[in-house]
Structure 1
Amino acid sequence: MRRIQLGVTVGLLGLLLATPAGAETRGISGDLGRDISRDTLAADDGWAAADGGTTGGSTADAAHVLTVRTRGELVRALDGGSATPKIIRIAGTVDANTTDDGDRLDCDDYATGGYDLRKYLAAYDPRTWGSAKPSGPQEEARQASAAKQAERIELAVGSNTTIVGLGSSAVLKGASLQLKGADNVIVRNLELRDAYDCFPVWQPNTGGLGDWKTAYDNIWLRGASHVWIDHVTLSDKGHPDEDEPTYFGRNYLRHDGLLDITNASDLVTVSWSRFADHDKAILIGNGDTATGDRGRLRVTLHHNEFTGVVQRAPRVRFGQVHLYNNRYVVPAGAHDYRYSLGVSTESAVYAENNAFTTPGHIEVADLVKSWNGTALHQTGTLFNGYPVDLLAIYNAYNSGSERDLTADVGWTPTLHQKIDSAGKADREVARGAGAGRTP
């Protein structure tokens, strides 16, 4: 399906030294003895292969190859986000919402300063509070409570790090991996689920009628570079937002993005991963005025599955993004679907051979949304099994209401592996994308 360039070969002795007694060394396929933790990105596999490539922690010595089973072990292995080459292998389920002794924490455990949701709702009800930004005792208590949760679930990932799941069922639950200023990071074969915000903030002026804003992405890249994310599964599994109540006429959201690539991050490849059952999946570029992102945010997304995703698959500002051989599935009855490809300020998306499967109420023109975008290159698109010209249909549908998009994005991708037809990729991604799947 694709070639993997191996870094340093791991001998049996090294594995025994690095792995606690009795632990199994399983790779993506789950085969005993198959270890992927020293794999490096192939020389042609997307933007993360540029300028020296991405090797993660492949050069780690035996003392920095660690298998972790608890949040405490994971925090110690991450070493405060240090740049020391390290390989962290996650076994089983690691829950970030736990104490140092492993006891489970819930939202009540983080609440402090007298925070109470009922009091918060009463204090900032738009009918009495108006449209001003929340302030006062309950907002201060919310902020303090949020800070307590953030301290526990935001995990800093440093440069020269590989994080890999062992076997077919490795899970990191409730955590937000923070790659801030990190270079040369690999995350593979891992399910990241339910980065749940206990303390959303009410923003009265968002969207005209106000909305709830949440804090955590499953993975957040800020000023990060040379990052390879491969065979991961990201979702809200455990606490879907659709099951949350409505306050002030808005869904009480608990999740932000699945993967955000912002603040001049650069040279990223996301491959063979699954983004599932979520509102806002991937944001590339965090603001229309963030002109420092120009020349950066170079990202490749290939052989990924987006299923049950409402929007941002991805939404792009400024970046040169190569989007090929991805599979999009909108489930029947998904009446909250908004769009898949977001074309925003100075974005340059080059989309090739992607397949979309949708129910009958979604049309081709619904797949793209533009905010100040000017260009989208697309070829080889399949829509419910039929070839379509996504750009031409979008322009025809939006003629007179939005600016037409041109096909000239100003660049042509050169770093990529074999690009299959959309139909073939659709079948292969359905079988092979996500954690625990064989590449």
Structure 2
Amino acid sequence: MTLAGGVAALVALLAGAAVPAARAAVHEAPAAQAPAAQASAAVRAAAAAHVSADGPVGFATVDALGRNGTTGGAGGPVVTVTTAAQLEDYVGRRGPYIIRVSGRIAIDDMITVVADKSVLGVGSTAEITGGGLQLGSTTRPGNNVIIRNIRFTGASDDSVSVTNKAHHVWIDHNDFSGGYDGLLDIKRESDFVTVSWNRFHHHSKTLLLGHSDNYTADVGKLRVTYHHNFFDGTDQRHPRVRFAEPVHVLNNYYRNNALYGVASTENAGVLMEGNYFENVAHPVYVGYDKSGPGRVVERNNRYVNSGTPQTAGTVVEPRTYYAYTVDDPGSVPAIVTAGAGVGKIGL
């Protein structure tokens, strides 16, 4: 069973109700959705326990570019780091490593993570602050990398940058806030990425997908799944997309996003599916600022005290690449707040 399907089935079972069938997008008043956001503690705890037991869903699982899924540092030495020097040393070494980040590590720039690494926070207090992680350089690829269970704060540039043709990356159960530029940017021909169960807050430019309007080398790349993330009061870019197709935005919780939810530009193809928007005046834009229009298909989303999404054209189906199940969008606030962020998985 896929992660999304397992959580939906578990929540429905504990709540004593069947999972509703998929429906067309609806626009409802806030009161109509109150029960979904106030699920019992037992349901929330069970949902959180379930997400900890599953692996990646989406593009990080696809067999492509010489890799069958994303395994990170599996099979390599397990090390624990507590300083910036140790972190930079191990993430830059050749070969697989499982790197456990313990406590708060202050860095002052971007540290390059090279291929076949798992960077995993220990417990609920692992933090990287002041700088960020860059997956790959022009000479050392950042393929097959996993980043989980880490709090990223106050980065001087991006908190995490997936770049320079990095592929097969899984970024899961992290907490991002207060960076200078993007919290999580994916660009420069990177591909086959899953971004799941993260909490983003206290920031404006959240997720960029695609380097610039002029960087057409991204066409045919940047295939990313964003699922079960919590965009908690962040302003914009959830994500802002150029050129990529398909981009699968699945079962995310958008709350109080001041500027907009998602922007599809420069002929990108984005499928918006099973998401929950609360107090978001502009859930989806087709084209944004000086960037030309993209394409958006939306289905089975909820818009509570929110505007009407813009849509256009058709998009390649993610099922062309992988199987998945959509959670009932009405359950998304409870499921996501229970399961997203750090300290929810046993690392």
Deviation at 1:299, TM superposition (A): 0.1
Partner of 1:327: 253
Distance 2:195 2:86 in 1: 27
Residues 286, 296 of structure 2: 8 Å contact kept:
no
AA aligned to 1:384 is V
Equivalent pairs, count: 286
Deviation at 1:417, TM superposition (A): 3.2
| Cα 1:416/1:93, change in 2 over 3 Å | farther
Which structure: larger Rg? 1
Partner of 1:408: 314
Partner of 2:160: 219
Aligned with residue 96 of structure 1, among 107, 125, 135: 107
Higher RCO by CA contacts (8 Å cutoff, separation 6 or greater): 2
Q: What percent identity do the matched residue pairs reach?
A: 36
Residue by residue, what CA displacement relative to the aligned partner does 1:9-35 show, whole Å, maximum 9, x if unpaired? xxxxxxxxxxxxxxxxxxxx9xxxxxx
Residues 41, 49 of structure 1: 8 Å contact kept:
no
Partner of 2:275: 354
Partner of 1:57: 73
Partner of 1:309: 234
Deviation at 1:41, TM superposition (A): 4.2
AA aligned to 1:313 is H
Q: Secondary structure at the match of 1:57?
A: coil
Deviation at 1:76, TM superposition (A): 2.1
Deviation at 1:58, TM superposition (A): 0.6
Deviation at 1:409, TM superposition (A): 1.7
Distance 1:187 1:59 in 2: 16
Partner of 1:427: 334
Q: Secondary structure at the match of 1:164?
A: strand
Q: Secondary structure at the match of 1:288?
A: coil
Range that drifts further, 167-176 or 292-301: 167-176
| Cα 1:409/1:219, change in 2 over 3 Å | same
Residue by residue, what CA displacement relative to the aligned partner does 1:128-162 show, whole Å, maximum 9, x if unpaired? xxxxxxxxxxxxxxxxxxxxxxxxx2101010000
Deviation at 1:2, TM superposition (A): 5.9
Distance 2:286 2:124 in 1: 36
Residue by residue, what CA displacement relative to the aligned partner does 1:227-247 show, whole Å, maximum 9, x if unpaired? 0001011101xxxxxxxxxxx
Instruction: Calculate the TM-score normalised by the size of structure 2.
Output: 0.77
Distance 2:182 2:294 in 1: 25
Partner of 2:96: 85
Partner of 1:239: none
Distance 1:40 1:58 in 2: 16
Aligned with residue 324 of structure 2, among 417, 420, 426: 417
Deviation at 1:420, TM superposition (A): 0.5
Instruction: Calculate the TM-score normalised by the size of structure 1.
Output: 0.61
AA aligned to 1:93 is R
Residue by residue, what CA displacement relative to the aligned partner does 1:156-189 show, whole Å, maximum 9, x if unpaired? 1010000000111111111210112311000011
Partner of 1:368: 285
Residues 238, 261 of structure 2: 8 Å contact kept:
yes
Residue by residue, what CA displacement relative to the aligned partner does 1:353-398 show, whole Å, maximum 9, x if unpaired? 100111xxx53x4543523124201011111279x8x44xx3xxxx
| Cα 1:188/1:65, change in 2 over 3 Å | same
AA aligned to 2:62 is A
| Structure 1: 5+ residue stretches without partners | 5-28, 30-35, 98-152, 197-215, 237-253, 332-336, 395-404
Residues 40, 55 of structure 1: 8 Å contact kept:
no
Partner of 1:382: 302
